[in-house]
Chain A
């Protein structure tokens, strides 16, 4: 019991401490050793605390622990803090919307926040015995947010210094940036731990407003526009969430007794009113996870400095949506809502992976890949089957690590070379060998055979086949083809060896390596550890969510074969070095159907002139470009979402 008590305290600490750190960082305007120390020390503290909590919960048998602030006074204070916090968030939205003349955001903000706020002040929201919860799912999220999140914050310390070195036109507000990152983390921990839906809503809005502020960091015209796009889409999700709560309170025949997430999913009641609430929550989750038709905010989010992109894409923002869908997944089993969510997810996976082919901006490819992968997770959660949820949780874990690493590498490359275009990464393996290697591991982690993402995709495929969703299978197989295409051509670009190329000065900071090296190691280790992860992390989630034990989705001989596969990938380079394969080969220049001018970038043409040579990748804009595919995709999925909400509503009224 003593142990459990301390878990409560630690999870309280994890929610409150980041806010405190944020305040401390906000006050330190100058880039002092103290500020760097604050970030790195508190980052490690948060990491340690979250890993400890997660491991304790997972090892204690993975039961759900419901709890609340220990004393009555603490509870009162927490409720008051939430009300004031909601007012504050609304205030921020109103002030900034007036400042930049985007008045419609005020309407959306008010429509979402005010009804809930009024009910709270009127005391109409039922108070539950418990409003916080720790269970295996929360533990997995603690690991994602608590390990990857702080690493990104540490990376930001070194990155921001370089960033402002190169972008002299942007006012240095690094203190605001760093403190926002920590507010985000605090909100994230709060959201994971909350069970009471109003609490969840509060933290939900924190992340919306926070991401809005982060995206608008540079205050350039583009940044402001993109940040408001992110704001209105997420506020729209917030409105859906708030109406979901209202539906539970007023339309549900249980007369609003059910106000916590765990009660909602445990009952397994699929009454029309409950399903309407679930559908509204799911739509809110779609906005957070940037699924089509709400994807455009995430694409615009890349104008912000890279750490915020890394945070939004990997450990926090977009994961909230799929986290919530996984929570709701028992409610999706054999329902119309479940089918439609699955279709939206599958469609997003397919469309985003096609769109990614046409992009040459590194961050944009990563953004489309995030949307695409989250589509897959959404589809998995929407099936409402145990296998689907297994794949969803695994995908989430692997995606968080690989994607945050990739963002960090692209950010560093941009700081060094002044460009994040994939075309400019030509010959990266010679120019910046260390970063190129890290990036190759990251990319392999996203699509190659023995690495985690592919293992989970494999499980997802099995889940879809078993749940007989033929359309989903077709989306998945065609989407896999295009995923392969856009990753492999990026990988090829990096691997190109240019003769007589100079090694660029690799100015990666120590604090950035603190983050990137562990993430790289994690990707490699997770290749080997996935059977173990399945047993100790994902299995308890399934037990809790579906209350039945499921056999390992991928196991036995397959696991061993995967291991051999991974080992080979690492042994082949080492072995051929050792056996000095090819050391006696004659070296030459590549064939250019003419006279090679001595390096790989010029040749002598038939008039004897020295001509430059440039090798570009294929992007096939005419077929897969945004102009061709983006709006139709948004349109199709918008119709699906509207139909979904209308049809479910029709069941109630």
Chain B
């Protein structure tokens, strides 16, 4: 038991950057094809990361680095908790802590674009945080445990009991992964009114660390998605991976077809979707029990 946990955590720490990088490469490739371009090779993100690490790092102050390192470490820690089979609520709380670190890094530079990005990022967190908590509660109510370890050993996939939760989660995933129409705080295309928002004043190695943390984050989010489909049956993992890819494709599609919305519209929309989809789902679950 203990050994398998350690193995899973090590696998996550080693493989997540690779999978995360490939997912990003895939994202860029598909996006390019949707726009009728050739697009970069799928391994392009790795070259980018390599280049970032070899550039001279320019910082605005010395605490900035500290927060970024903390962001990366806490993200890896949260992911390890998840793939190690820990408590879902604890994972959600850890996740928001790592996000706060990134926000503080942006705050600390005292630049107008970073500050604006930081506020928007906080608003984005406020939008998805309720859903993450409800997700954990939904799993608990339907399967009787908060522990990821127990939740992957169930006899039937959670999605049967939690369809509303899946819709709500997929919705907030757009916010969490900062895809258009909800890429308010920063985006991968630095051509908007916010320059690069949250990460405007981060460069070189530090930017590399942020990219790396985002890859870890993406893999964990895919893990959350997979949770809806995984059962004790090993074959279910194939289905789970397929579902993750489907959700990921959907995210890219939405990203490329929807223009960005205003902050308060995102706020209203996300809370409404969460309340209607996840809230109703929870209410029904409780009545059925």
Contact = CB atoms under 8 A, between A and B. Distances in A.
B is bound to A: yes
Interface of A: 427, 429, 448-450, 454, 458, 461-462, 465, 468, 470, 473-474, 476-478, 480-482, 484-485, 488-489, 491-493, 495-499, 557-558, 561-562, 564-565, 568, 572-573, 576, 581-582, 585-593, 600, 613, 615, 617-618, 620, 623
B124 to A, nearest CB: 10
Contacts of B81: 561
Given A497-B63, A561-B90, A588 B58 contact: yes
B59 interface: yes
A182 to B, nearest CB: 40
Contact of A585 (B58, B100, B140, B286): B58
- The size bracket of the interface on B is 35 or more
A615 B110 contact: yes
Interface string B102-146: 011011111111110011001101110110011001001100001
Contact of B118 (A450, A481, A492, A593): A492
A262 B141 CA distance: 36
A394 to B, nearest CB: 15
A491 B104 CA distance: 8
A411 B279 CA distance: 41
7 contacts: A449-B94, A454-B93, A473-B282, A476-B133, A572-B69, A589-B60, A617-B119
B70 interface: yes
Q: Is the interface of B mostly helix, strand, loop or mixed?
A: helix
Contacts of A618: 119, 123
Contacts of B61: 497, 499, 587
B145 to A, nearest CB: 12
B97 interface: yes
Contacts of B73: 568, 572
A491 B282 contact: no
B96 interface: yes
Contact of A484 (B114, B125, B195): B125
Interface string B255-286: 00000000010000001000100010011001
B57 interface: yes
Nearest to B282: A470
A562 B106 CA distance: 26
A461 B133 contact: yes
Nearest to B137: A465
Nearest to A448: B97
A481 B134 CA distance: 12
Nearest to A455: B93
A452 to B, nearest CB: 13
B53 interface: no
Contacts of B64: 497
B201 interface: yes
B31 interface: no
Contacts of A458: 89-90, 93
B201 A590 contact: yes
A488 B87 contact: no
A544 B10 CA distance: 46
B81 to A, nearest CB: 7
B108 A496 contact: yes
A458 B93 CA distance: 9
A591 B115 CA distance: 11
B59 A478 contact: no
Contacts of A429: 63
B74 interface: yes
Contacts of B106: 492
Contacts of B192: none
Contact of A558 (B69, B90, B275): B90
Given A477-B133, A484-B96, A590-B114, 9 more contacts: A449-B93, A476-B133, A485-B122, A495-B104, A558-B90, A589-B60, A591-B114, A591-B195, A617-B119
B86 interface: yes
Nearest to A440: B104
A480 B130 contact: yes
A495 B66 contact: no
Contacts of B289: 468
B110 A481 contact: no
